Amino acid sequence: MDSKQLAQMCARYAYDRKSQQVSIMHVEKNFVLADYFVVCTGNTEKHVKAIAQEIEVELKKKHSTTCHHIEGYQEGKWILMDFIDVIVHIYLEDMREFYELEDLWADSPKVELEFETSSGS
């Protein structure tokens, strides 16, 4: 699986766990440590943790892919999952608004989700 496919899988598993505002950014030209960021939002700390667990369990079970490093799981306000070429950011809404990651990386192109969402994106 290449890094774009991995990003799509992470986004899909986050969406399957009822994550909101799921997006993928292609950051490779601006960030040497990863090719893609997956960004999504959970409603509560428990929900943020559940999204992270869904991504980790499904990738391991279905694709034999493991997360290299996880930050912020205990607090559950902003979890960062490092899959080497893909970094997943799972936020509470207020944390996402505060850090404005998409604005910081605004010159990185957004990647269209390759699955159907309820909003049609």
Average pLDDT of the segment spanning 41-57:
98
Chain centroid to CA 62: 17
Strands 86-92 and 110-111: what pairing?
Answer: unpaired
Region of 44 (left: φ > 0; alpha: ψ -120 to 50; beta: rest) is: beta
CA neighbours closer than 13 Å in the CB half-sphere of residue 17: 25
**Residue 5 contacts by C-beta under 8 Å, 6 or more apart in sequence?**
none
Give the chain's domains with CATH numbers. Answer: 3-111 (3.30.460.10)
* Predicted TM-score (pTM) of this structure: 0.93
Report pLDDT digits (tens) over 63-94. 999 999 999 999 999 999 999 999 999 999 99
Average pLDDT of the segment spanning 12-27:
97
Q: Are 42 and 50 contacting, i.e. CB atoms less than 8 angstroms apart?
A: yes
Nearest C-alpha neighbor of 42 from the set 8, 89, 104: 89
**Residue 103 contacts by C-beta under 8 Å, 6 or more apart in sequence?**
none
> Is pLDDT above 90 for 115?
no
